[in-house]
């Protein structure tokens, strides 16, 4: 089994979850079961799917969960943008959390790409 704690993608995803929770703590109460919950759930999904993928036996399963994590991080990117446009996130907080999201996305995409490249049969 792989140790998720050693993966840079997991470390960034974990930091993203904390940043999202902090950023959404000031969202309007009317969004408690809407955008607040959705953003939190999507950010937790990024880290959770990396962890679950690491626990899988085959590289194909591992890659599948990394793909799901990547989809979730892109979902967080959109939801952060929406939250900012709705006025729920101040510019500075939005920029900070959004940058964390972009960095997580890039590292995760690189990890996925490395597995796909490695698992392709030679031409």
Count of C-beta atoms within a 10 Å radius of residue 76: 28
The answer to whether 51 touches 100, Cβ cutoff 8 Å, is: no
Dihedral sign, Cα of residue 84, residue 90, residue 92, residue 94: negative
d(CA 67, CA 100): 18
What is the pLDDT, as a whole number, of residue 121? 58
What is the pLDDT, as a whole number, of residue 116? 85
d(CA 86, CA 29): 14
Give pTM, 2 decimals.
Answer: 0.91
Q: To which H or E segment does residue 83 belong?
A: helix 59-85
Tokens for 120? 């392709």
Which domains are assigned to the chain? 4-119 (1.20.1440.60)
Question: 22-65 pLDDT, tens per residue?
Answer: 999 999 999 988 999 999 999 999 999 999 999 999 999 999 99
Q: Is the pLDDT of residue 99 over 70?
A: yes
């Amino acid at each position: 089994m792989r140790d998720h704690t050693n993966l840079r993608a997991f470390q960034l995803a974990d930091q993203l979850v904390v940043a999202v929770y902090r950023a959404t703590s000031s969202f309007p109460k009317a969004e408690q079961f809407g955008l607040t919950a959705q953003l939190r759930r999507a950010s937790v999904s990024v880290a959770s799917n990396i962890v679950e993928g690491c626990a899988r036996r085959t590289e194909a399963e591992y890659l599948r969960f990394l793909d799901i994590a990547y989809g979730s991080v892109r979902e967080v990117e959109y939801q952060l943008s929406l939250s900012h446009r709705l006025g729920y996130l101040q510019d500075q907080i939005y920029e900070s959390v959004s940058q964390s999201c972009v960095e997580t996305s890039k590292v995760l995409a690189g990890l996925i790409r490395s597995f796909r490249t490695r698992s392709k049969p030679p031409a």
